[in-house]
Structure formats: structure tokens, C-alpha cells
Amino acid sequence: MFINGIRAGTSIAIGYFPIALTFGLLAKTSGLSMWEATAMSIFVFAGASQYIALTLITKGVDPILIVLNTFVVNIRHFLMTASLNEKMQPDAPWKKAIYAFGVTDESFSVLATRKEHKVHTLFAAGVIVIAYGSWVLFTAVGHVIGANLPAFLQAAMSIALYAMFVGLLVPSMKGNRKVIFLALFGAVIHSLLYWTGLLSTGWAILVATLGSAILVEVLYARILKGSEA
């Protein structure tokens, strides 16, 4: 089970590689030591928040505001872990409290789209260990070597995590209209929020996800009622 999890998490590890490397490099140019940069990846483990924190640190923003901003960016994980809870095998809360640390957009996507009815705790542990290992290791490597990948490879690898999301979504879309609507509405609402600049990214993803999930649920409830009448 654990090994299967490692295998399923490999795409995440590949996707994190260029992002963590760049994070380590940027942290160095922002004046953080190797240990300070790596410690952020060890203790926080949240890509978007860490990048934003770097930008804010170099601008001299109050650390309290940086923490608040981190919270806002991560509020969407309330929704993801509530959803993941329906998918995971029931287990002791202390075990769930441990693997909860490793729930990111990416590990959530891998776990929540599994075909099996319930996902094993050890499987989740495997996915998270390899994703987390890649994130922490390549943060340190990025800081130490202080250089980036060749430009063409860096550019090409920037697609990795999105390609992974596509690779997870498409098999579920086949022959399942509800999944297609969910993804479509999620994409459309997020795009509208992004282009109009109404909400910042963390909120926009949260609103788009919840909006789509509720909308489709209401639509399907209506259709079911209609077919019964």
C-alpha cells in the first residue's frame, strides 16, 4: 500500500522539483540562509504561500501580515480536507492528524480522484512522503547550487503540475457528465474571478470550487426530481 502510494505520488515529486529548486534559489537571493529556506519548506509545505512570503519579506512587510496572508491563501484546504475525509478509510484521529500535514492541492487531487471506494491510510502516507521529500530536498538543493535548470527545461517543466491535474481529471470525465460539469463550472468561475480581479487567488479557488460543487448538486437534485414526477 505504502509503495503504491509512493508510485502514485511520483508525478507530484516531478512537478515539485522545478518549483522547489526555484524557491531555494529565490530564498537565497532574498537573503535567507540555506537552513532558513529549507526550514520553511519543512514546516510550512505550501508552495504558493511560501513564494508569497518571500516576496513580502523582501518588501519588508510586517511578519504578522505575512502570517495572516498565509492563512487566507490556505483557507481552501478546509474544503479539501473536509472532502478528503469522505474518501479516506476511517482511522484513529492521531494518524489522520499526522497525514493532514501533507495535504496540498496536489496530494489532495491524487488521493481524492482514486477509483477505489476508500483510500488506505498507508497509501496516503506514501503519496505524501514522496511529495514532501521532493519539496524539502529540492529547496535545499536550489539554495546550495544557487542556479536554475537550463531555461528551456525550466520552462517546459512549469507545465508538470497542471499536466498532472489534467491526467487525474480526464479519466474521471470519460462517460461521466457530472464530472465534466463540475470541472467546467470550476474552471469558468475561477477564470471569471481571475480576469475580473474580484478576488485574490486563494479565495477565488475556494469560491469557484464551492460554487461549482453546489451548483451541480442543485442541478442534479432538480433533474432527479423532474424524472420522478
Partner 1 sequence: MESWYWWMLLGMALVTYIPRAIPLTFLEGRELPPVVSGVLRNIPYAVLGALIFPAILYVQEGNLLFGLIGAIAAFAIAFAGANVIVVVMGSIAVLAVYSLIFG
- Binding positions for partner 1, 87-106, rule CB under 8 A: 87-88, 90-91, 93, 96-97, 99-101, 103, 105
Residue 178 CA, chain-centre distance (Å), reads 22
Q: How far apart are CA 122 and CA 80, in angstroms?
A: 19
- Which residue's CB is nearer to partner 1, number 188 or number 198? 188
Residue 224 near partner 1 by CB under 8 A: no
Distance in Å, CB of 79 to partner 1, minimum:
6
Select the residue interacting with partner 1 from 2, 34, 51, 113 (CB under 8 A). Answer: 113
CA distance 75 to 102: 15
Residues between 161 and 190 with contacts to partner 1, criterion CB under 8 A: 162-172, 178-179, 182-190
223 binds partner 1 (CB under 8 A): no
58 interacts with partner 1 by CB under 8 A: no
**DSSP SS3 for 59:** coil
Q: In degrees, to the nearest 5, what angle opens at C-alpha 169 toward C-alphas 120 and 189?
A: 120
131 binds partner 1 (CB under 8 A): no
Backbone φ and ψ of 207, nearest 5°: -65, -45
CA geometry: angle 29, 35, 39, nearest 5 deg? 105
Size of the site for partner 1 (CB under 8 A): 98
- Site residues for partner 1, 190-209, by CB under 8 A, read 190-191, 194-195, 204-205, 208-209
The reply to whether 129 sits near partner 1 by the rule CB under 8 A is no
The interface mask with partner 1, positions 10-49, x = CB under 8 A, is xx--xx---------------xxx--x--xx--xxxx--x
Q: What is the 3-state secondary structure (H, E, C) of 144-165?
A: HHCCCCCHHHHHHHCCHHHHHH
Which residues 6+ apart lie within 8 Å of 55 measured at CB?
none
Rounded to a whole number of angstroms, the minimum distance from the CB of residue 226 to partner 1 is 17
| C-alpha cell belonging to residue 136 | 524539502
The answer to whether 1 contacts partner 1 (rule: CB under 8 A) is no
Instruction: Report the residue count for the chain.
Output: 229
Nearer to partner 1, 10 or 148 (CB): 10
Specify whether the CB–CB gap between 107 and 9 falls below 8 A: yes
- Does 119 interact with partner 1 (rule: CB under 8 A)? no
CB-nearer residue toward partner 1: 23 or 165: 165
